[in-house]
Each structure stands twice: as structure tokens, then as C-alpha cells.
Structure 1
């Protein structure tokens, strides 16, 4: 009987434990499901982040700003292939918008430029980049970049100020609280009004009786931290003394109750140590209560339920279990309220090393070859070694891996990430400790869900309004054709009830010429249509991020005219003028087939032959009858002995009826390429070789104007992509050029599948050249390097 009782009891215990375990797992699954739902809902809409790589950081007022834009999908860190419309603004130092332009993002990148007004005053300016879709979020996902402009025709008033005169001091308790009878760690951020860190030694921490309880210093970036052991319920302050001046800053109030989350992220490379601290007053009230330690990045998360049974609970987390880059740590109570928070950076070594070396000197240029981990997209600025552009605050890595998750950007990428080690990790963690507020507010995550209110814009909308009354029958249905000759595109839309045609999501560059024609189901309108074309691309401007701005009552004059700026080749010089007419360069000779062809750039002022006569002049036989045109290769026959024929293409479209060639003169042609061995465009007629004809830009439009159709030139569309042109053609050894000039700007470098690339850049009399290389590969790895190449070695 006794054995049976024991057996029964053991089974009861087993069933009870199994029941409790199932309840526990069930509860954890429920909590996990709630957190998953909240995070998924909040980060459901795709968030874009934009980085602009500039050719330099200081510009002369009549120069062009050149930049390469990288647009990523924040959820995976890869280029956002869906983004097209990117709005970019130029702001002055007071955040006044001077101008806004629309740029096209193609496959996640932008190649852009901005011509500065020659009358801009010297000073600080900002570039603000955003999309309309960013307005859907509580957080500001836009990007802002600082640039300096020098007006060489004016004296500039440069501010002279005592760094402590407009000092900004922030005191940031780790975890967000200062708790009575606890050891509290307080971060300190000291910056000047321009956002530059101030290094200060021997800063005193004083209690209410002015007794010094600790002493600390800030580093070169203006960050520091100190502890107050066994904190009393009294006011504390820090005291800074410098140059006979004294600044004091009071700490936040001490809380009698509370819980703090402290983190040590630089102890070793494998783990982070988390300490959850509280006091006896709080312990009595949280007995048997469940807490959750949550770690998340975007909508991904891990969490663990914990109990707090003593004043200090220590938790070890493996860095392999955390997310790459920024991680948000939150201590949640039973109702999922956040009671203590911290942000850390988990550095992953992805072996994404960039190799870049000189290959040879070719005439007056350098040939260089490089390699990244895998196929990628890069941009390179080539600058004199003594350039004033350091790119310390303009790095794609810090912009798209770190600062896009922070409210207060951390400047100076090389200081933290170049040769990353334990000390660098400590310095970076100190800067993150001083993030006063986390960018993603936990209350918003719990209570709000972003709505798709602001459109994810793709292209521009074109409205064609008719200013005439159309003859309508009861069954009349009108359609309009938007013809874009330069793109060889026709888009058709029906007329709406306002007698207008709206063509949506059209990708058009500024100044593109379009033609509109009208059709109906009972009549074709092939005549002049009285209409007005208008581009509309309504967008909401994203709020401009906070910018530090300070004034000073003390100034000094800088005479930029004495800096011997290089002569800008935009300017007409009246002394020793020699007029040289440059031969126009071929535009299309870099394509795979055209490289092997004989290309001719046609001057419309000197060519007066018909196109068929021009073909005869260049080694072809032509037969022309009233109903037929044939073009034959000379000296190349088919297998049956008959003369072979080349395939003929106009603007890369193969012709099936060659009688159209009668309509053109050779002066209508911009470039023509002859290749008797190119069979890549062969059709079913088994042609031999090719003739590729590229018409002048205005010729295609003339076809429509001769039919009486109205031609409109589009404005307010996407900015035209330009090829870099160095505005200076002399004084390459002047101090001004060495500090503020650009040797070359190469924005669009696509590597091969293995990550190899090669560039050619002019030397411009420089002995050493600094190459700033930035970009992203197909795995989302980011690259930033400043590499100096000795030209003579």
C-alpha cells in the first residue's frame, strides 16, 4: 500500500510539473506572439534610407556639387530597387529651403549634380534628401548633409568663439534612471554649438554640499561617463572650470524606486554583460513579478523572461545571438511597458576588405585596379592629397549602419571604425550610452501602426488639358497618345470627365520633348490639338532634422581673393584668347558591339549628302527604286555568290523596310557605326555585319511636327544626369586647388561578379592623390576607404 501511495504521488508530481511546464511554454508563446505582432505591424511598411557620397566637402560658389546616392531598404540593408523619386533640397545655415529638385533613383542609386549659384555667400549649407513615402512614419528617416561654400569674390566673416561660450551639455543616466542607493552610471556629452566634441579634463562631480564624489574627463569627441556609488537622495551636479570661467550642470533627480539596465559591450569579442540594478525599496514591490529582456532591430527580436530577486542580476548574452549593427535593449514589465532602455552596436567582421592599387601610368593618367568581396556598386572621388575634405562626417558605413538608427548622429567614422578593436568598441559604446532618447519609441511601437497615407511615388504624372471643344457623338470614346520620341515610347490613356488625359508614373528627365495626339473610336485626330501639358508630382516635404546653429559676436575676415583660386573654365578670359574648336567626342562607342565598329561623328554643318549617298561614300552599294531600297556589302558575298546585306538599325531598332532611309540626310545623323563582322543583330534574313545609325535628338521630334502635332518641352521632371566636367584647367599646383579642387569624380562603377574593377583618372600634376572610395556590394556590405596613391612610385 505504501509503495502504491508513493507511486501515485510521484505520478501526481510529474503530471503537475508537466502541466506547469505546458502553462509556462504557452505563456511564453503568447508573449512572443504579442511582441511579434507589435513589431511586425510597426515595421511592416518598407523604410528607405538615403546616403549621398559627394565629390568633396567644400565648394566654390559657382562650382557644381557632384554626388552619388545610395538608397537602401532598411529591413535588409540592400539597395532598394523599388525607389525612383528622391527629393533633394539645398538649405542655408538657418534651414531655409533655397531650392528643391527631383532625382531619379535607378536600381537603388542616384547619379546627380547641383549647379551652385555664383552669388551664394560663403558659409555652411545643407543638403536634405527624402522621399514622399517617409512621411508615413513617426520617425524622421530622411538624411541631411553639411557642406561648406566659399565665395571667392567676397570677404568672409569667420566666427571666432570660445567653445564653452555656447556649449551644449547633456547628462544621460544609463538605462534612463538615477536610482537611490544604487551604483549609477551617467554618460556626459559636451559639444560646441557646431556639434564638435570638446575634450575637457578634470570635470568634478559634486554632491549637495559641494563635496567632490568623482572626477572624469571627456574624449576628443566630447563623450565621457562617471559613476556615483551608493547614490544618496540629494541633488548632484558637474562642474567645469576653464579660462577663469565656470559652468555647472545639475543631474536629473534621484528616484527612490526604479530599475536600471546597464550594459558592458567592450569586455570581450564574444559576449556582452548586462546588469539589472535596483534597490531594496523596489525589490519588495516586484517580488514574483515577471520581466522580459527584449533585444530587437527593426521587426526582428529575441527575448527572455526574467525574475529580479536581488539588487543586481547579471545576464551574459552571446554576440552571435544578437543582430549585426545596432541593437535596442529594453527591459519590459508584465504589461510590456519599457522601464529601462539601452542601445548598443554589435560589430561583425564580414571580411569586406577593399583592395586598391596603381597598375600603371598611361600618358597623363593613372590606371588603377581594385577588388571588393563580391559584385557591387561603387563611387570614387579623386582629390589632391592635401584636400580639406576628410569625409569624417560623410561615410556610407556610419550613415547606413549606425546613424540611421539614432536621433543624435555619431560623427567621425574613422575615429570609431578604422582598425576596429576593443578600444574603438569602448569609445563607440560610450557615444551610444549618450543617446538621450532612442529613435524608435516603445510606446509608439505598442500603440501605433504606420499607415500607407503618403504615396510611394514612381515617376511623375503628366496632365494634358484640352483647350478646345471636341465634336462628340453619344458613343464617342477619346483616347490620347503621349509620345516620347527620345525614349521610343507611346503611352495611351482615356480622357476623363474634365476633358483631360492623365498619364501616371512616367519616367521622364527634365526638358524632354513630348508629343500628344488624339484618337476617338469614330475619328482619328491627326492634326494640331490645342492642349497644355503639365507635370505634377505632389509631395509632402519631410521635416528637416535638427541642426545646431550658433552665432558669435566675434568675427575675423577671410580674404578668399588672395587664395589664388584656379581659373574656372566657365569664365571668359579676355587676355591672350585663343579660340580652339574641340572635336566632339563619340557618345556611343563604349557599347560591346560599337567598340569593334568604325564609328563616325557627323558634323551637320559640313555634311550635305543624303543618307544613302553617305553609305555609298563609306563602302556600300545601294540600289534604290520607287518601291525598294537595298544596301549591300562590297566584297562580301553569301554562299551562293550573291552580295551580302548588313542589318541596318536606327536608334538600335532594326529596319525591315529600308525605304525610310530616303527620308534622311546625313546631317540628320549624330553618330553612325559600320561593322561588317557584327552578327549579333542578325535577323531571319541572315544578314552579314551591321550599320547602326543614331539620329540627332531633334530629328525624331521633327517627324511629328511635320504632321501638325504639338511638341511640349517637359519641365519639373527628373534632373538630367550629367557627365563630370572639371571646371578648372590650370593652376593645379596652387594651394587653393590642392585644398578645394577635385581631380576626378567617377560615380558609377559596377564591378564584375568577383568584385574586380578598374578605373582611369587624370593626374593633373599631382605627386600624391587621395581616393575616397565608397559603395555597397550585392550582400549589403558597405565600403569606405581613404587611400593615398603615390603617383611616382
Structure 2
């Protein structure tokens, strides 16, 4: 008998070890196989209501799974979308060590209405558009949008059993989401059986969500009954009769408790597995086979701050899931006025942790003046990094981070469904393959012909080497990871034995990042979410960001060109306002077209000789043209010796004078004036980073009592080791008897998230 018992124990142990090894090889290892870094974005905007000619100032934060600044991505795409999901304008934002500052200047012809700030990196596309940052704003446009007809009220009830199922002979908790045309409604509700008897009441309604706990008896049907205005809604609760397994979650002070109810007659293997997005914990919990109820207590410290997920596996198959929230380390922020001068007020900002010690942090601050309206924030950095990337999109995101909002947040997590049906689908969604790379700057692609040397170099306008590529006999080239801005001009040349050779012909295919942007973005109107120091080169290990000031050149309308012409040459030519500029084509510069041929082709100017005595320029029929180069009029002798090429010319301007005669002003380059020959071809960057502009404080209107007014925007604030930083606000008499609101967002050096709204008099 003892031998039989020993054999039985050995077999059981052997089977347990096999099952355990299978779980590791079939579940844990595939989920943890080369997990992708999970990037998240938050964009702190200076306010949420704008006029049609306003500027949206913003600071972007890009972090990884653990809310540390991302050291990989250097390019963030920020779009302004209308309420149809169409791109109104876009910005390419430079991200340095996880942060970037920029702006969106609003232009006319905008309709009044709701718009959205959308932001994402190329790498974030691996996890789908649902993880993009999205922020609703309102713009008072110069076109009044026609009001849509009021839709007929359509009520909806969604039921969310805790862990996904309602089981018989056990206590079940069900979350109830009640909406009308996606709007909040006050309602009362209860759970009734098939005979209409109330078995539980929907309690603690928060926004659109409430919940109830009831005992589900066998052979009984149950319904959720909701009373909303003058409407009664009723929905049947689906009960899983065959599988009696359920999962409940309880929050304690220092631990998380999970209660699993299952059929004790089944000798299946049950395990609890924890993860946050695609970051899996290093251990799991094996449940007792012989017990129908298993209580598992887990210390909170093993989890990541934010939304975590527990999945119940039955024989390596995911069957139930529950999301729960772990709060990050608390911090407190104080703002005190320390000095008031004639034109400004100085405040001291102090950031402390729970032990009252100062915190070093990277912050941004919006300063607003409250009139009759109160400053309401519908998004913040905690929501963007701890909540929204892990959940289905719902309204009132920042509401869940107000004081005493733990219950509301748990309700929100209660109504999250498991988004996969089997292990294979779970693995593919949890740990997707990498199809989109990190982006380090922009690439400059092109073709050069003929190939005069093996090496092609790229220079800034200050002749500092930016990059060098080896052609190896090929005509195509690619300069990679460049920090270039729209409108920059760069120089390309061959390098041969320390000598430079000017290329004969260069065609620039593109200046772009590695992203292949989708043009179509769909708007899901049900939940307001969109579904779909040395130089200018990036290094994968180090990023040098001392920007070389490069003069930009952009095509513009004639009026703007004329204004620029006047501004540049009014000190040389007194009546420059009477001239209009001529355009020199890029191909003419590349082909080094002569000035005289250019004037003949564009204006019909011909060199003639009068009675074999002197030379002059003729235009049209017996009309005269006068030519000046850098302010000097060309004489008869000068005209014969002109060998100027258009690639040595900066600008050409023409002034018509009486009866068809004209004056031509030619302004040469500095290199031509100094007799310097440049052996390169200049290219103009049409796509690159958008430059950050200097913030300009908006003027305050004493008589504006309806809108929240902007006082200041401070995107770059860094507290010292004591957690302090001084800020100065320009003074205005409108401040009297009004509240100033400071909206502060940021991240500490320890990874704490800071989001504070402080109101002072």
C-alpha cells in the first residue's frame, strides 16, 4: 500500500512539473520573448480654448514603460485634427532626452468647434493608433459652424461582469455603463430576477458607471433594470452555467487580494499571471486543485504604477481577466509669492515627496486668469501615462485622478473587457512584432551625376562637416540621422584627396524620416477617439544639439518677395520699392547659366553696338535697358566683359521706366564679391523639424469677463535638488480680485509624475 501511495505521489509530482514547464514554455516565454519597449506621449498645452488666430503652445513628454524619459526617439508627430478626424496642420517636433517644445499657429478659415491634438512617434505605431495621445480643445473660429440637428435620444446599457463572466452559486459583481447618445445621464437601477423581484441595487453611481453585487442562483434568470428620465431600460445578464470559474478583486492597504472560485471536481491547472501592457512579472501563482476557493494576496510593491492586469489561465488557456490600478509615489507642490515689483510678481515653486524632501523635476507650467469661468482640465500627465494607454477610451479621464477618486477609477477598470479569445491572440496583441523603428532625425536621399569621386560630403552653411558617405561607384546617396529644420540650406560636394569638387548635377529625391504616414484617419464619434553640441547629426548613443544657425530660403508670393527685396537693398538702392524681383530657377543655377542669356530669355535684353562706337543694352523695339551690378552702372566697356553666372547672383530686380525702358539691378553673392569660388551645390530642406518659436505673452483684456485668459506659458522649468525654482509673472492691473491658476505638469528625476492645479489670489 505504501509503495502504491509513493508511486501515486511521484506521478503527481511528475505531472505537476510537466504542467509547470509547459506553462513556462507555452505562455511565459512567448509573452516575454523580445518584448518591445512601450512608448507613451503626453502633450501639455497652454490652455484648452483658443481663438481662430491664436497660437497653441505646447511641451511634449515621451517616456517608456517605466515612465523614464525615452532616449531613443528624436521625432514626434503632432497633428491638429478637426472633429471629422482630418489633419488641419502638422508639426515635426524635435525630442531631446524625452522632451520637446513647439507651437501650432492657427490660421484663418477655421470653423468654430471641437478640435483634437494628436501626437505619436513612429515606434508607437507598433501598438496601434489607440495608444496615440489625444487631447480635445475648442477653437472659436472665424466661421460659425452650422448646428447639427438634434439626434433622437438613443439609450444604451453595457454590462461588464467582473473578470468577464457571471457564474452560478457564487457572488458576482457586475459593472453597468448607461449612456444616451454618448452623454452622461442621471439614472437609478437595480438587478431583478425573471419574476421582477429585486435582488440587488445599482450603487455608487459615478458618471455613467455603477455596479452591483448579487448571488447568482442556478436555474434563475437575471436582468439589469434602469430608470432614466421617463424611460425604463432592461437588459438580460448572461450567466455562464458550464464553467463555474470566476475571479474577484479586493484592494487592501498594502496588498492586492484575488479570490478565484472554481469547480473543485475539475483537476485542471489554474494559474494567475500578472503583467502591465507587454511587461510581464517574473513569477506567477499556482492555485490549489482541490479547493473551490483560492485567496491570493500579493504585495503592491511588485507591481508597476498605473494599470496592471491579472489573467487567470486554465490549462494554459486565458479564460478570465481583471485590471487594477497601482498609484505612483505621491508628491506635493507649493507655490508662494515671495516678491512683488512694479512690473512683475515672483513666485517660488517647491516640489516635495511624501517624506517632505525636495524633488528634482522637469516641469512645464501654464498660468491662467479665472474670470467667470473656472479652469477645467480634461487631460493630464497621469492619465496619459498611467491610464489611457491601457484602456478603452472613455470620457472624464482626469476626473479619475482627483482626490478620493479611487472608487471611480476602480469602476472604470471594472468595465474593461478582455480583448483576446485565445493564447495565440493574447501573445500577438500583448507582445507585437516590431514593424516600425525608432527615428533619429531625417534622411537626405538623392542622386548625383557624374560620380567625380568616391566620397560625397554634406556641409552646413558655416562649412562644418555634417556627414560623409561612400558612393562606391553608385550615383545614389543617403545622408542619415540629420538634425535639419524646414528651410535650412545645406551644401553637397565631392571630396577627393582633401580637395573638393563641385558636383555637376544633383537630384534630391526626398528629405524625410522613415515613417510612411497614413492619410486617412477615422473618427469614432462614440467615444471621441481616433482609430487608425558639436553638430547637426544624431548618433545612436549620443545626441548633440547645438543648433547651427542656417539661413532659410522659402518660396513665397510676389508681394512677400518684394517686401524682402526692399528690406535687403533699401540702403543700396533708394527707390528699390519701384522694382519687382525676378525668379532664378534652380536648374539655371545648376547649369550655371550666364547673366546675359538669362536677361535675354526673361526680359528680351540684347547687347548692341551703336555706330561701332559704344555698346548698349536694348529691350523691345528701340528701347534701352540700364544694368547695375551691386549698385554700379555698367558702362560700354563693362558690358563687353560681363561673364557673370546666375549661380553667383543673389537677387535680380527690374524697374520699368518711361516708354518701355527698364533698369535691371543685379545683386551678387558674398563669395562672388570676395572672389571666393565655392565647390559645392546648395540644397534647400523642404521637410525636417519645425523650429520652436519664442513664446509671446498674450495681452489681457480688462473687459473680458467670459473667457479664461492666458497670463503666461513656461515650458521649461527645472527644480533644483531642494525641489525649488523661481518663476516671474508679468504684472497687470487686471489681476486684482481675480484668481490666478497655475497648471503644472512634469516628471521627476525618480520617475514620479507631477500634475497639479493650484489657485492663488
Is TM more than 0.5 here?
A: yes
Q: Is the 8 A contact 2:185 2:228 kept in 1?
A: no
Of 161, 177, 186, which aligns to 1:173?
161
The number of residue pairs the alignment matches comes to 616
Q: 1:544 to 1:217 in 2, by over 3 A?
A: farther
Q: 1:530 to 1:36 in 2, by over 3 A?
A: closer
CA distance in 2, matches of 1:700, 1:25: 80
1:785 and 2:750 matched = no
Query: How far off is 1:777 after superposition?
Result: 1.0
Residue segments in structure 2 that go unaligned for 5+ positions in a row: 352-357, 529-546, 549-566, 573-668
Give the deviation of 1:433 after TM superposition.
0.5
> What is aligned with 2:317?
337
Shift of 1:138: 6.0
SS of 1:354's equivalent in the other structure is strand
Distance 2:205 2:234 in 1: 19
**Residue number among 721, 743, 746 corresponding to 1:775 in the alignment:** 746
The 3-state SS of whatever aligns with 1:743 is strand
On the 8 A contact 1:406/1:438 being kept in 2, the answer is no
Structure 1 position 718, deviation (Å): 0.8
Distance (whole Å) between structure 1 residues aligned to residue 418 and residue 456 of structure 2: 54
Q: Secondary structure of the residue that 2:205 maps to in structure 1?
A: coil
Greater CA drift, 540-549 or 244-253: 540-549
* Cα distance change of structure 1 residues 699 and 103 upon mapping to structure 2, 3 Å threshold: farther
Q: Distance in 1 between matches of 2:87 and 2:383?
A: 26
Partner Cα separation in structure 2 for residue 365 and residue 388 of structure 1 = 25
1:443-454 paired onto structure 2 within 5 Å: 443-446=424-427, 450-454=432-436
> Does the CA contact (< 8 Å) of 1:460 and 1:506 recur in 2?
yes
SS at 2:163 equivalent: coil
Give the one of 527, 540, 544 matched to 2:516.
540
Which residue number corresponds to residue 760 of structure 1? 728
* Corresponding residue of 1:129: 119
Q: Counterparts of 1:189 and 1:486 in 2: how far apart (Å)?
A: 63
Separation in 2 of the partners of 1:732 and 1:119? 27
Residue number in structure 1 paired with 2:470: 494
Equivalent residue, structure 2, for 1:403: 388
- Which of 362, 366, 376 pairs up with 2:361? 376
Within a 5 Å distance, the mapping from 1:196-345 to structure 2 comes to 196-200=183-187, 202-217=188-203, 219-233=205-219, 235-265=221-251, 268-278=252-262, 282-284=263-265, 286=266, 288-297=267-276, 298-334=279-315, 336-345=316-325
* Alignment of 1:79 onto 2:77: no
Q: Of Structure 1 and Structure 2, which has the larger fraction of its residues in strand?
A: 2
**Contact 2:370/2:708 (CA < 8 Å) preserved in 1?**
no
Partner of 1:660: none
Aligned counterpart in structure 2 of residue 455 of structure 1, from 417, 437, 441: 437
- CA distance in 2 between counterparts of 1:253 and 1:264 reads 22
Give the 3-state SS of the residue equivalent to 1:431 in structure 2: helix
Q: CA deviation at 1:106?
A: 0.9
Secondary structure at the residue paired with 1:272? strand
Q: 1:699 to 1:183 in 2, by over 3 A?
A: farther
SS of the aligned residue for 2:721 comes to coil
Contact 1:410 1:431 in 2 (8 A): no
TM-superposed deviation, 1:405: 1.7
| 1:514 equivalenced with 2:490 (yes/no) | yes
Please give the alpha-carbon distance, in whole angstroms, between the structure 2 residues aligned to 1:319 and 1:708: 66
* Distance in 1 separating the partners of 2:462 and 2:515: 27
Q: Which runs of 5+ in 1 are unaligned?
A: 1-5, 552-586, 589-602, 609-697
CA distance in 2, matches of 1:146, 1:523: 56
Q: Over residues 635-687 of structure 1, what are the superposed CA-to-partner deviations in whole Å (9 max), with x where a residue is unaligned?
A: xxxxxxxxxxxxxxxxxxxxxxxxxxxxxxxxxxxxxxxxxxxxxxxxxxxxx
Establish whether residue 90 from structure 1 lines up as the match of residue 80 from structure 2. yes
User: Is the 2:167–2:216 Cα contact (8 Å) retained in structure 1?
Assistant: no
Match of 2:136 in 1: 146
Q: Distance in 2 between matches of 1:716 and 1:702?
A: 31
CA distance in 1, matches of 2:147, 2:692: 35
Q: TM-score, normalised by structure 1?
A: 0.70
SS of 2:170 mapped into structure 1: coil
Distance in structure 2 (CA, Å) of the matches to 1:182 and 1:778:
47
Name the CA distance, whole Å, in 2 between partners of 1:306 and 1:161. Answer: 54
- For 2:434, what is the secondary structure of its paired residue? coil
Alignment of 1:304-703 (within 5 A): 304-334=285-315, 336-348=316-328, 350-372=329-351, 373-386=358-371, 390-409=375-394, 411-413=396-398, 415-420=399-404, 424-437=405-418, 443-446=424-427, 450-466=432-448, 469-470=449-450, 477-485=453-461, 488-495=464-471, 499-520=475-496, 524-526=500-502, 531-532=507-508, 534-541=510-517, 547-549=524-526
Q: CA deviation at 1:311?
A: 4.5
Deviation at 1:234, TM superposition (A): 5.3
Q: Please state how far the C-alpha of 1:454 moved relative to its aligned partner.
A: 2.0
What secondary structure, in the 3-state scheme, does the structure 1 residue paired with 2:44 have? strand
Please state whether the residue corresponding to 1:485 is helix, strand or coil: coil
SS in 1 for 2:740: strand
C-alpha contact (below 8 Å) 1:407/1:439 kept by paired residues:
no
Deviation at 1:82, TM superposition (A): 1.3
Q: Work out which of the residue numbers 696, 699, 717 in structure 2 matches 1:725.
A: 696
Q: Does residue 712 in structure 1 map to residue 683 in structure 2?
A: yes
